[in-house]
Chain A
């Protein structure tokens, strides 16, 4: 016995060619999400996608599909041939399962295939009276029904179903292009990554560490966060760059209150260089306005000025509590709050400037051999692909 799941998508107020790209990408992503479930197939119908697979894998399929961005809602459907009697038989079977506890119902029909001899209102009444004959205790209630029986008449077959499960919405990962997520071990950046995925960006992640001043476990944390994000985006290449030497140079040669802004500027330069090499079109960060000294408007501007790249900050106006709530929802919170292994406070300055002046930053940077530092930083690059 096969299980069939009808997948609806939205935001397809998109026009002509875009719509095709969107649908193709979504189909591909659904296939990807189901790649570990055997004997599944994803077909495109008019304005819908149809997933089929073994009945016993139904719950597993549904839980995976619910994570695919671009999916607005899902329904487990029963398929019948386009004949009224067959449709009624199918309805009878399905409704038997919905009966316990329900005294009223309504029928909601939709006819995409205008060649079908019954209009939607006709279908509603045909099916409604059929149900009332079969189950005399059931009443029709159009306003507050105990259950709704949905009927969709397609071109080759009909679908009947009882409910819809919400999908995550958003755009299929990949339709918006590729970006580089600056992934620390904290709470914010994975949430930023998730939101970027939600808007259809395919992600690669870049984690900065200061080995041996930070340990193996913080690298593990970045990897585990990527693995979690990969659940929503299938695969996330993770890049690691060592910035210990850069931190040291800044500490030795620059005013300490500028250290964090200077370091962020160096990180953005490294991220830009990596993006160029990997063909990534934007940087995504977990910055939220005013959260810490390096996230004031002045600091963000100073940091942005170090790169020509588009910098996306999905969390920019979110409160910490909202970010935490979202990170719990997507399962990154527990990873992010693991004890921070960065026991070395060597490089953390005491009083970071909240309003760094551009002139002061440039003067400080004149003491640094920026190109060399970037080149050496890139030499420490290690990359691997993380899958869920």
Chain B
């Protein structure tokens, strides 16, 4: 039986076109974009095209992208680069309790550098408490960082409202959005949000690993994290990852071309899956936001009585690949900080699995995965006599 990949929030299968393009770039266009000769210029053209393709997804005329090695580096550059740049204006940074660890770890490291860190609580659906945000924003605040779509439970944050509160507060802050999970999947209305910095990653949207970007609103200044050349406006020096960036550009282009109906199609897979699971008698509880409120591709379910790792192993044995909590966390015994932040009780915390879908999944796969999952749950419950 062909494996069914339902771990698309961990990473996605690259589009075949992306792979073809990348290998062509490596074979034929290996020139260094900084070189003056014709081959260097070919490389530069690739970058220019990719920059345009990626930038298009940010839906703004007022910014541009800096290519990075991925979402984690983009988050690091945005947070450390902005906070350090603005430290004379103020010392307070605000984020939420359900951020990706690359954001939380950066914020904690900034706190060690002397910044005051406020981590906003979230409700049971993972929504940031806007009242606490309003209360916390002040003239000292130099940075607000929020995740657009939660990688673990799919919560979509009210970024427009948060942006308005920030504007109203007159805080001298930059607004950073971690859009790694939404790039290429949901519209990024950076102007309506009032975002200054937005992070994205190629491999979460059928592009290659090792490439990502930080979108910057024009006029925003950052301190670079590394030095060594003029590339990427000196914010990210070093010879560009041309094949990766070209692949990223194409993946962004494909996402843009197919944007009509993609979200609905993926959401439909999720619904089919959950419905079938319930039809087959599996007792599953949705964690976080309700299906229609969540991002189209992420479904976090608890199966009380069955340890997440056990069902994950069983599914893996059946060729169905999912995550327990967040993939980056799954080898640590401690429960996910996101699931803890939304207040899940122990039973649900220990039995939570994330199913994440993509446009490359089919309805047949969703049905088959649900059937298989329900069957495995039945067997496990029989086996355990519960």
Contacts and interface: CB of A to CB of B under 8 A. Distances in A.
Contacts of A339: 331
B317 A212 contact: yes
A211 B385 contact: no
Size bin of chain B's contact surface = 10 to 19
A215 B331 CA distance: 11
Contact of B310 (A213, A216, A248, A252): A213
A11 to B, nearest CB: 45
A346 B313 CA distance: 15
A215 B385 contact: no
A214 B313 CA distance: 7
Contact of B307 (A216, A252, A341, A343): A343
Contacts of A346: 307, 384
Contacts of A216: 313, 316-317
A215 B383 contact: no
B311 interface: yes
Interface string A201-232: 00000000001111110000000000000000
Contacts of A344: 307, 309-310
Nearest to B309: A343
Nearest to B315: A212
Given A343-B307, A344-B307, A252 B385 contact: yes
A213 B331 contact: no
Contacts of B383: 244-245, 248
Contacts of B307: 343-344, 346
A211 B313 contact: yes
Contacts of B310: 212-213, 344
Contact of B313 (A213, A245, A248): A213
B115 to A, nearest CB: 33
A295 B249 CA distance: 61
A227 to B, nearest CB: 21
Contacts of A211: 313-314, 317
Contacts of B384: 248, 346
B314 A212 contact: yes
B228 interface: no
Contact of B333 (A215, A245, A252, A343): A343
Nearest to B383: A248
**Most chain B C-beta atoms within 10 Å of own C-beta, residue among A212, A216, A244, A252:** A212
A359 B331 CA distance: 42
A198 to B, nearest CB: 34
Nearest to B324: A343
Given A339-B331, A343-B333, A212 B385 contact: no
Interface string B278-322: 000000000000000000000000000001011111101100000
Interface in B343-386: 376, 380, 383-385
**Most chain A C-beta atoms within 10 Å of own C-beta, residue among B310, B317, B333:** B310
Contacts of B385: 252
Nearest to A213: B310
B311 A212 contact: yes
A332 B327 CA distance: 27
A252 B382 CA distance: 13
Contacts of A244: 383
B324 to A, nearest CB: 9
A202 to B, nearest CB: 32
A339 B331 CA distance: 8
A341 B307 CA distance: 13
A284 to B, nearest CB: 28
Contacts of A245: 383
A347 to B, nearest CB: 11
Contacts of B380: 212
A343 B350 CA distance: 11
Given A212-B312, A215-B313, A343-B307, 9 more contacts: A211-B313, A212-B311, A214-B313, A215-B312, A341-B331, A343-B333, A344-B307, A344-B309, A346-B307
17 contacts: A211-B313, A211-B317, A212-B311, A212-B312, A212-B316, A212-B317, A212-B380, A213-B310, A213-B313, A215-B313, A215-B316, A248-B384, A341-B309, A341-B331, A343-B307, A344-B309, A344-B310
Interface of B: 307, 309-314, 316-317, 331, 333, 376, 380, 383-385
